[in-house]
Structure 1
Amino acid sequence: MKWIYNNYEFENRINNLSWTISGKYNEDISASEQDYTSKDVALYFAIMTGARHKYIEWNIVKKYLYNRIKQGYDSNILLGLVQVVLNIIVEDRVIQERPGIKDIRKKAYKDMLDGFTKIYKDDVIQKIKYVIVLENMGKHPSVDGLSRRILNCIRKIDINLPIIEILKEIDNIYIKFFEGKVIKSQDIKENSIEYKNDTDIDFDTFSDFMYEELYEDEQNEMIESEISNISSSMLIESVGEIDIDISKNAKERVLYVDEKTLDKIYNKMEHYYGKSYLNKNELKKIETKNCRNVHEGCRIHFTDGVLRSECSNVAQIKYVTRQKENNIGKFRDKAKIHKRNIIKLKDSLSRILIEESETSRVYSDCGTIHANRAWRATKSSNNKIFYKDIENEKGKYVIDILLDGSGSQSRNQANVATQAYIIANALTMVGIPNRVMGFSSFMDYTILKRFKDYEDKIEEIENIFEYFCAGNNRDGLAIKSTCDGLLNRNEENKILIVLSDGKPNDIKIGKDRERSIRGEMSYRGMIGIKDTANEVRRARQQNILVLGVFTGKENDLEAQRLIYGRDFVYTKDIERFSDIVSMYLKKIIRN
C-alpha cells in the first residue's frame, strides 16, 4: 500500500502493521496500491489488510462463490453479502484482540465519509453497507424494514464459527431474502450443478463445493478479480462517490466520427499545432510506453508551437501571434512590478543556494590539525584540535513547470504566462535548469507544447508568452510524459510543478457506436482523478518532487487533494503563482 503523502517511514510503518496483525510475515500483503488522504484511513486499511489474511480462508470463499454463481445466484447480491459479512467478522475479531482499533476505525470512517458528495443507496446491499458504517461511528440511522431484517440476520452470525459454517449462514440469508434472484435451471450452462429446485439446497452436502475443480474459465477469472477486490478494499469504499457529476447512470462523453474524418485528424495534427520536434520512431516509443490502460489508443504530440516549428496553417499562426502580443501587452502594463518580482525571486533563491552550498567546518578529535587549537592538547579537557570540512551533498536541481492549457484556463491566459515567465527568468538567472510546458488535448491527442527548454537562454524565455488555451485536459498522460524528460536529467533533485484550474476532463473518440478507440470509459470524474493521482504517486516513487497548484473552484478542491496530497496549494489569485513556487522551492532546498 502506498500512502498518499509518499512518506517512506509512514509507508514502512503501515506495511509492518499489516504483517504484525496477520502474523504471516512470509506473505506479500502490501501489494495492493491504495491512495488515501488521511493517516487514520491508511492505518485502518493496513489493519484490515492484515486481519483479512489472518482470519479468512480466501480459497474456500472462492470455491463457494464459483459454485453458487455457476448454479445461478445473482453475483452482485451474493458478492455484496459476502463482503458485508466477512467485513463484520474481521472487524469484530481484530477489535476483540486490539480494542484500540475501534477508535481508528471511527476516525477512518469519518475521514472517508467527509469526502463523499453522493451516497449510493440504490439497492438493499448498498443501504446495508451505509447503515453498518454509520452504526460503527456511533450513529443510529433509520432504515427500511427489509434492510433491517437482513442486518439482524447478519448480526446473529457467530463470528467464531469456521468459514464453512459462516458461508452456510450467508447462503441461508440469500435464500431467505433473495430467492427470486436464482436463475432458472434452463438458463444455466449445461455443465452447471443442478439442485432439486431453485432454492432447495441440501445442507448435509453443503461443503461438496470444496471438492470441485476450478478451471481457468471467464467466470473463474471474474471471481478471482472480485475476491481480490473484497480482500483488498474497505466496506466504506463502495458506499459513496467523491465526484457527484459521475454516477453509474451518467452518459459517457463520446464523440463519434467517421473513418475519413478520423484519418484527417491524424494527418493534420502538425497543421494545427506545429510540427513535432520528435521523429516518428521516438513518438511511437513514447506512445507505446505511456498510452496504456485508460489511455489506450491515445496519441501524444510534442511541439514547440506554430511560431517556432514548421506549420502551414496561416490562420493558426495569426491567432497565436495575436495571443502572444496580447500576453506581452498585459505583462508590459505592470512591467516594473513584474521585473521587480523577478529580481526578488532570483535574489531569494541565490541567497538560499549560497547558504546551502557553503562548507561547514566541524571540530573533532581526528582529521586536519588546527594550529590555533593545538595548545588545548595539554592545557584543556577539550581535545578537539582537529577539524573536518563538510561539503554540501544535496546535489543540483532541475525543475519542470507544467501549465494546464485547456479551455478552462482561457480567462487567465495572460496571467499564467506572466507568472511562468517570472519563475523561468529567476530560475535561469540562478543557474537552475528549467523547462516550461503547456498541455491540452484535442481529439485523441494530448498536446505538449514546449515554451522553454532546459538550456534555453534568457532571451528565449519570452516564448512563454505564446501560451494559449484550448481543448480539454488529460492530466495523467501529460504528467507521465513530462516526467520522462525529467528522469533523463542527471541532476539529483528533480521537481515537477503543475498548475491547473480544474479536474481531468477529456472526451474519447469512437469510429462508430459499436467500438471506440479508447476503450469503454471517458476520461473524467473518478476515472480521471484516480489515473492522475496514480501518475503523481508514480512520479514521487521515482524521486520526483511534485507540487500541485490549484486555481479553480472550491467544489473541485477534494479532487485536487486526492491527486496531490500534502504537496498541494490552493489559491484564488493566479498572480500569487510565482510567490507560491518561491516558498515551495525555498522549503525544498532548505530541507
Structure 2
Amino acid sequence: MEEYTQDSPQLDELDVKNRVQNLMWTVSGDYGLDTEVDTASFEKSKYISLYDAIKQGAFARYFDKEAFGGYVVRKVYLGADSSVLMRLGQLCVDSAVWKKASKERIGVPDVRKKAFADALERDFFKLTHSYWGKIQASYYRYALYGMKTEERTQRVLDRILRIQDASDTMEVIRCLDEVYNDVCDKEFESRVGGLERVLAVPEREMQNFNWQDYLNEEARENRVQRLMDLFQQQMYQEEAQTDQEKKQTGVVLLDEEAIAKMDHYIELNYGRSYLTGAQQRKLNRRLCTGAHADSRLHFTDGILAGMVQENSQSVYARKVKELNLRFLHQNARVTRQNIQVLANILQRALVSRTEQEQCKSDCGRIQASRLWNVGRTSNRLLFERSIPRDDSDFAVEILIDASGSQRKRQSLVALQAYILSEALSRAGIPQRVMGFCSFWDYTVMRRFRDYEEGPEANRRIFEFYGSANNRDGLAIRAAAQSLDERQEENKILIVLSDGRPNDLVVNRPNSKNTAPYCLDYAVRDTAIEVRKLRNRGIAVLGVFAGVEEDLAAEKRIFGKDFAYIKEIGNFARVVGRYLKKQLAD
C-alpha cells in the first residue's frame, strides 16, 4: 500500500491571527475588536498566552475597553510610568473579569491557575526585582494557594480583590488609579491632580503625544491573543463533564448593534452571497425552523471569488490553497489510482443498469432447445424476451464539514472530496460540492462546484479550509433542498465529516432556542435530518475522517451507511462499494 504524506508546515502568524480573531470576536461578542497578534510568546507558555487572551476578550465583553484605554493613555500622558501602570492594570483587569468568565466557561479557573504557576516559575527574576513585581507574585500565590503576604502588600491585594464583582468600568479605573498612586507615585495626585483631572484631559491636548507607540508597547507587554482556538477546544472538553454544565455553555449574548453588523462581517470573511437578498430570505424562512429557528444561511462561492476587500482572511485562504495543492502534488500517484479505481467502479455500475435482462416468456424469440415441451408438457414458455433494465439517472451532492475541527487534516479532506468529484465527473454523473461551517448564528454554505460545471471546476475544492463551528443538521437540510430541485430520479448525498456537530448559540432578544448545539443534542438533531432524507428517497453516505472516539456519534448519525477511511489508499474501494450498491439497486 502506498503511504501518503501529510505536509504540515506552520501557517505562522496568518493561521494564528485567523483563529484568534474568530474566537476573540466570539468570546467578546464584538466582531470589531481589533488587537495585535503576537505569536512568539506562545513558546514561553501556552497557558500564559491563553489566559491573557481570555482576559482581553472577557474585558472587552463586560466593560468599556475604550474608556479604560482612554484612562491609561491620559495617565501616561500626565507622567505615569507606563510599564508599572500596565502591570498593575492587568491585575485589576483579572480581578474584575475572571469570576464572570468562569461562570460561562468552566475551564477558565484551571487555565488561570496554570498560567499563574508558569508565570511564577518562568518570570521569577522579573517578579522579584521590583515592588510592583512582588505585588504580581503575591497576587498569583494568593490565587493559587490562598497564601497571604506581609501587611503592606496584602492591603494592596485586598483593594484589587474588592473589584471581583465590579460591573462598572469606573470601578476598575478607580481601583487602578488608587493602587498606582499608592505603590508607585504617592505624589502624583498632589503634583498633577486626582482621577477627575486625569479623565478631563481633552484629546486635542494629546495630539502631539505619540500614544500609538505606547499602545504598541502595551500590546507586547500584555501578550494577548495567542492561539485562543486551543482554549476553546479545552473549554468544550471540560464543559462536557455534566449535563448542568452543558446547559450553561456554548451561548453568546449579543445586543442588536452587534447583530446588525454581522451581515457585513460574514461577507467580509466568507465572501459575498451568490444569491439575491430575496432568495436568501426565502431559503431562511423555509429551512431555518425547529432547532435552527434562530439560525441563518449564507450561500457563497468563497472569499477568493466573492471578496469584499483584501484582508487577513483572504491571505490565509490563498496560503491554505497553496498547501492543499502541494499535498495533492505530494500524493499525485495515489490520487490518480483512487480516481481511476472509483471511476471504473461507477462506470461499470452504470453500464450494468443499461444492459437488457433476458427472461423466459410465452412470446418473443423462439428457443429451439425448448420445443420438446410441445405436446409433452404444459410449459408454454418456449420464447425469450429482452427486458430493459432501469436506466434512470443520478445526481450527487458532496457536503464537506469545513469547521475548525477539520483544520489539522484539511488537506486530506480536500483531497478526498477531489477524488470523489473527479471520479463522478469521469462517470458523467451530475454533482455539486459544498462546504459548510457556522459562525455566530450563520451557517455558511460554500460552493466549490455546481451541477452544470465541467471537470475543470473540481480543482476549486483545494480552496477548502477549516474555520469556526459546524451546525450539521441545518447544512444537511440545505443540501437536501438543492437535491430536491433536481430532475434526476436517484439522488445521493455524501457527507465528509468528523462526527462532531458543534455550534454556539447566539442569544438574541426573543431567541427561540437557547440550548447549545453540541454533544447529544446536536448528534440527535443531525441523525433526524439524515432519516428524513432517506424517507424522501435520498440516499445518504457518511465518510468519516475523525478520531475513533467519535465513531459512536458517526454511527448514530448515519447508521450502517458510513465509511471509515483510515488510509487514503483505501478511499476509492471503500466509498466505491457503497456507490456501486446505490447505482446497482
TM class by shorter chain equals 0.5 to 0.7
Letter in 2 for 1:579: R
What is residue 386 of structure 1 aligned with on the other side?
A: 383
Judge conservation of contact 1:274–1:305 (CA < 8 Å) in 2: yes
What is residue 473 of structure 1 aligned with on the other side?
A: 470
In structure 1, distance between residues paired with 2:524 and 2:497: 16
1:498 Cα deviation from its structure 2 partner: 1.0
What is residue 574 of structure 2 aligned with on the other side?
A: 580
Letter in 1 for 2:432: R
In structure 1, distance between residues paired with 2:376 and 2:307: 76
Which one of 528, 531, 535 corresponds to residue 525 of structure 2? Answer: 531
Letter in 1 for 2:422: N
In structure 1, distance between residues paired with 2:408 and 2:376: 71
1:471 Cα deviation from its structure 2 partner: 0.4
- The residue correspondences of 1:53-452 to structure 2 (distance < 5 A) are 245=241, 247-250=243-246, 251-366=248-363, 368-370=364-366, 378=374, 381=377, 383-393=380-390, 395-452=392-449
1:379 Cα deviation from its structure 2 partner: 7.8
In structure 2, distance between residues paired with 1:378 and 1:296: 72
State the SS of the aligned residue for 2:303.
coil
Judge conservation of contact 1:508–1:518 (CA < 8 Å) in 2: no
In structure 2, distance between residues paired with 1:309 and 1:579: 36
**Kindly tell me: are residues 561 and 475 of structure 1, through their superposed partners in 2, closer, same or farther at Cα, counting changes over 3 Å?**
same
**Kindly tell me: are residues 246 and 441 of structure 1, through their superposed partners in 2, closer, same or farther at Cα, counting changes over 3 Å?**
farther
Matched, 1:545 2:539: yes
Which one of 527, 544, 550 corresponds to residue 556 of structure 1? Answer: 550
Letter in 2 for 1:248: Q
Could you report, residue by residue, the CA deviation over 1:247-284 in whole angstroms, capped at 9, with x for unpaired residues? 13432211223332221112332221111111111111
In structure 1, distance between residues paired with 2:365 and 2:570: 51
Judge conservation of contact 1:497–1:549 (CA < 8 Å) in 2: yes
Judge conservation of contact 2:365–2:385 (CA < 8 Å) in 1: no
What value does the CA root-mean-square deviation take over the aligned residues?
2.3
Judge conservation of contact 2:353–2:390 (CA < 8 Å) in 1: no
In structure 2, distance between residues paired with 1:577 and 1:261: 44
1:303 Cα deviation from its structure 2 partner: 0.8
**Kindly tell me: are residues 439 and 427 of structure 1, through their superposed partners in 2, closer, same or farther at Cα, counting changes over 3 Å?**
same
Could you report, residue by residue, the CA deviation over 1:531-558 in whole angstroms, capped at 9, with x for unpaired residues? 1111111111111111122222333222
Could you report, residue by residue, the CA deviation over 1:42-89 in whole angstroms, capped at 9, with x for unpaired residues? xxxxxxxxxxxxxxxxxxxxxxxxxxxxxxxxxxxxxxxxxxxxxxxx
State the SS of the aligned residue for 1:495.
strand
What is residue 485 of structure 2 aligned with on the other side?
A: 488
**Kindly tell me: are residues 502 and 295 of structure 1, through their superposed partners in 2, closer, same or farther at Cα, counting changes over 3 Å?**
same
In structure 2, distance between residues paired with 1:356 and 1:539: 24
1:485 Cα deviation from its structure 2 partner: 0.4
1:308 Cα deviation from its structure 2 partner: 2.4
What is residue 454 of structure 2 aligned with on the other side?
A: 457
In structure 1, distance between residues paired with 2:259 and 2:293: 16
**Kindly tell me: are residues 345 and 568 of structure 1, through their superposed partners in 2, closer, same or farther at Cα, counting changes over 3 Å?**
closer
1:391 Cα deviation from its structure 2 partner: 1.0
Letter in 2 for 1:425: E
Judge conservation of contact 1:539–1:546 (CA < 8 Å) in 2: yes
In structure 1, distance between residues paired with 2:480 and 2:430: 15
Letter in 1 for 2:503: D
1:313 Cα deviation from its structure 2 partner: 3.4
Judge conservation of contact 2:498–2:554 (CA < 8 Å) in 1: no
In structure 2, distance between residues paired with 1:341 and 1:520: 44
**Kindly tell me: are residues 249 and 471 of structure 1, through their superposed partners in 2, closer, same or farther at Cα, counting changes over 3 Å?**
closer
In structure 2, distance between residues paired with 1:535 and 1:265: 27
State the SS of the aligned residue for 1:248.
helix
What is residue 503 of structure 1 aligned with on the other side?
A: 500
**Kindly tell me: are residues 474 and 437 of structure 1, through their superposed partners in 2, closer, same or farther at Cα, counting changes over 3 Å?**
same
Letter in 1 for 2:582: I
Letter in 1 for 2:517: Y
Letter in 2 for 1:587: K
Judge conservation of contact 2:338–2:571 (CA < 8 Å) in 1: no
Which one of 559, 563, 568 corresponds to residue 569 of structure 1? Answer: 563
**Kindly tell me: are residues 520 and 334 of structure 1, through their superposed partners in 2, closer, same or farther at Cα, counting changes over 3 Å?**
closer
In structure 1, distance between residues paired with 2:311 and 2:462: 19
Judge conservation of contact 1:419–1:578 (CA < 8 Å) in 2: no
In structure 2, distance between residues paired with 1:470 and 1:484: 24
1:338 Cα deviation from its structure 2 partner: 1.1
Could you report, residue by residue, the CA deviation over 1:276-304 in whole angstroms, capped at 9, with x for unpaired residues? 11111111111111111221221101111
1:584 Cα deviation from its structure 2 partner: 0.8
State the SS of the aligned residue for 2:392.
coil
1:376 Cα deviation from its structure 2 partner: 5.2
Letter in 1 for 2:315: K
In structure 1, distance between residues paired with 2:567 and 2:340: 21
In structure 2, distance between residues paired with 1:505 and 1:522: 8
Judge conservation of contact 1:376–1:385 (CA < 8 Å) in 2: no
Could you report, residue by residue, the CA deviation over 1:114-152 in whole angstroms, capped at 9, with x for unpaired residues? xxxxxxxxxxxxxxxxxxxxxxxxxxxxxxxxxxxxxxx
Judge conservation of contact 1:501–1:552 (CA < 8 Å) in 2: yes
What is residue 519 of structure 1 aligned with on the other side?
A: 513
Judge conservation of contact 2:563–2:575 (CA < 8 Å) in 1: no
In structure 2, distance between residues paired with 1:249 and 1:320: 35
Judge conservation of contact 1:400–1:497 (CA < 8 Å) in 2: yes
1:365 Cα deviation from its structure 2 partner: 1.4
Q: Which runs of 5+ in 1 are unaligned?
A: 1-242
Could you report, residue by residue, the CA deviation over 1:341-384 in whole angstroms, capped at 9, with x for unpaired residues? 21221122212221232011212112x23375696575875643
**Kindly tell me: are residues 399 and 246 of structure 1, through their superposed partners in 2, closer, same or farther at Cα, counting changes over 3 Å?**
farther
Q: Which moved more, 1:492-501 or 1:552-561?
A: 552-561
Name segments (4+ residues, structure 1) moved above 6 Å.
Answer: none
In structure 1, distance between residues paired with 2:570 and 2:444: 26
State the SS of the aligned residue for 1:277.
coil
Residue-pair matches, total: 345
1:505 Cα deviation from its structure 2 partner: 0.6
